[in-house]
Structure 1
C-alpha cells in the first residue's frame, strides 16, 4: 500500500519532467528560448494557482503557516549561506557565481516539483504551504542573489552599484507575479476576506495547468543544459537533497511547530533544486553549465530521497 502511494506521488511528476526533457532534447519545443513558456508558468499559471489557494484559506489556516515560514526561511538561509561560503573558499567561485549556486542549492523547485508532490500527498490543501514556501524563498534569498549579480554587472561596466540600483534589484525580485500572488493571497486571507466562487473558478481554470506545465518547463530547461559530474556537483546534490531536509528536521526541533506542519516543511525541504538559478545565470551570463548540472543531478537523485521522505513522513 505504501509503495503504491509513493509511486502515485512520484511517477506522474517524473513522467512529465521526462516528457519536457525529451521534447526539448529532440527539439519538439525550443529548449533554448523558453521565454514564452516560462511566462505562462511563472507569470500566469503558478501565480493564479497560488493566489487561489492562499486567498481561499481562512485566517486561522494562514496564521498556522507562520511556523512553516520560519522553519523554511531559516533552512533556506542556512543552506544558502553555507554553500556561498563553500563555493567562495573551496571552489574559488566568483561572488555572483557563488550566489547563483547557493540559490540553486538553498531554494527547492517548489513550483515545478513541490506543488504536484504535496498536492498528491496532502490533497489540494497542500497548495497553501507551497505558496508560503515559495514566497519565503523569493523574498529572503532571491533578492540577495540578484544584488550580487547586479553588482558584478555594474563592475563589468566600470560602475559602482548605487543604493538605487540595489533597491531596483530587490524590487525586481519581489515584484514578480510568482512572488506577489501568494503574498497578496496571504494578505487577502488574513484580512478575513473570502474569494467568491466565480473568481475561484476563473483562477482555477488557468491555475489547474500550473503543476503540469511547470514540470514540463523544468524538463525542457534541463534538456538544454550540458551535464558534467564532479565533486562540486556531487556535493551540491547531497546538500540539496539530503542536508536541506535534515537541516529542516533540526530547525523543527528548535521552533515550536505542529507535527503535521513539521512534516510538510521537511517534505518541501526535500524537493530537488529549482531552476531559478539557471534563469538568473543565463540572464547575467554566469556559469549556467555548473548550475544546470546541479539541478539535473539533484532532480535525478531526488527520486530516491523524496520516496524515503514520503515513506517516513507520511506512512499512512
Structure 2
C-alpha cells in the first residue's frame, strides 16, 4: 500500500481525534460528559453495529473464525498473563499494581478505532466479526480476570471487604458478560450459529444508531485525551511502548503460528496495535493503583500510534 493511500485512510481519522482533543482541552467537554460520550459508543452505537455485522454473516464464515479467536486470545490474554508474572516477580510490584500494569499494556481501544481504521481498509461489514470477537475476549475474559486478581489482592491487604472467593469470581465474570460490548456480540454469535439472519427491517433500525459509530468513537477518543493530565513517568512510557510496539509484533508471530490468512493477520495485528484503553485506565483508578501512570499511558500511546499505525499498515499490506 502506498504512502499516499495510508495517509488517505489515517488523516481523516486523526483529524476527528484532534477535533475531539480540542473540545476536551478547551473545556467544551469535561470528565463527566466524556464518560457519557464513551457510554454512547460502547453501550449503544458499537454493539448495534456489531450485532448487525454478525447476524448478516454466513454461519460457515463465522465458524471458520475460530483460529482468529484463538490468536486474539493468546495475543491479548496471554500477553496480559506474561506481563502480570514479569511485573510481579521480576519488577517486584504488588499483585494489584502488576495486574493494572499488565491490563493497561494488553487492552487496546479496539472499540473506538477498530471500525474507522479497519473499516477504511476492508469495509465496515468485513470487520464486524473480528471486532466483535475482540470485544468478547476483552470484556468477558481480560477485564474480569484483572478485576478478580486486583480485588483478591486488595482483600488480602485488608482494603476490600472479605467474602467467598467463588462468589467474587462468579460476580466478576457476570459483570463482564453484562457489558454490551461482550453480551451483544456473544448473543449475535450464538444466534448466527443457530441459523438466524437479521431481517432487513431490524438491520435498518439498528443501523440508525450503529452508523454513528466511527465519528462518535474517534471524537470520544480525542475528548478523553483532552480532559486528562499527562505524567511522563517511566511506567507510563513502558505501558505505552508495550501496547503500541511489543504487543503488535508478538501478535504478528502468533498469527503466523496459528496459520491466519494475510487479511486476518493484518486485522489481528492492527486490533492490538491501537492505543491503550481508557476503560483499562478507569479500572486502575477504581482500585487506586497506578492511576497517573495508566491515564498518562493512554495519552502517550495515542501519540505514538500516529507513527506506529502508518508503519504497520505499510509493512503488512
State if a TM-score over 0.5 links the two structures.
Answer: yes
Uncovered stretches (5+) of structure 2, i.e. residues with no partner: none
Query: 5 Å matches for 1:126-275?
Result: 126-154=127-155, 155-275=158-278
Does 2:87 align with 1:84? no
Work out the CA distance in 1 between the residues paired with 2:51 and 2:99.
29
- Cα shift at 1:43: 1.1
Instruction: Indicate the SS of the match to 2:229.
Output: coil
CA distance in 2, matches of 1:92, 1:214: 37
Separation of aligned partners in 1, 2:298 and 2:288: 18
| 2:292 alignment counterpart | 289
Aligned counterparts of 2:264 and 2:161: Cα–Cα separation in 1: 48
Aligned partners of 1:56 and 1:194 also within 8 Å: yes
Deviation at 1:9, TM superposition (A): 1.9
Structure 1 residues 239 and 159: alpha-carbon distance in aligned structure 2, compared to 1, 3 A threshold: same
**CA offsets 1:113-165 (integer angstroms, 9 cap, x no match):** 12210001111212221111222222221111111233345431452453212
Asked whether the 8 Å contact 2:50–2:128 carries over to 1, the reply is: yes
- 2:99 is matched with which residue? 99
CA deviations on 1:226-266 (whole Å, 9 max, x unpaired) are: 21223322322221111111111111222132222222212
In 2, the alpha carbon distance for the partners of 1:313 and 1:51 equals 28
Query: What secondary structure is seen at the aligned counterpart in 2 of 1:254?
Result: helix
Whether 1:40 aligns to 2:40 is yes
How many residues align? The count is 314
Alpha-carbon distance in structure 2 between the residues aligned to 1:78 and 1:191: 30
- What is aligned with 1:18? 18
C-alpha distance after superposition, 1:255-311 (max 9, x if no partner): 132222222212222222222212212333333211111111111111111101111
Rounded Cα–Cα distance in structure 2 between residues aligned with 1:278 and 1:161: 27
* Alpha-carbon distance in 1 for matches of 2:5, 2:301: 22
Q: TM-score, normalization: structure 1?
A: 0.92
Residues 219 and 96 of structure 1: CA distance in aligned 2, closer, same or farther (over 3 Å) = farther
Rounded to whole Å, the distance in 1 between the matches of 2:280 and 2:164 is 21
1:81 shift after superposition: 1.8
1:32 deviation in Å? 4.4
8 Å CA contact 1:50–1:131 kept in 2: the answer is yes
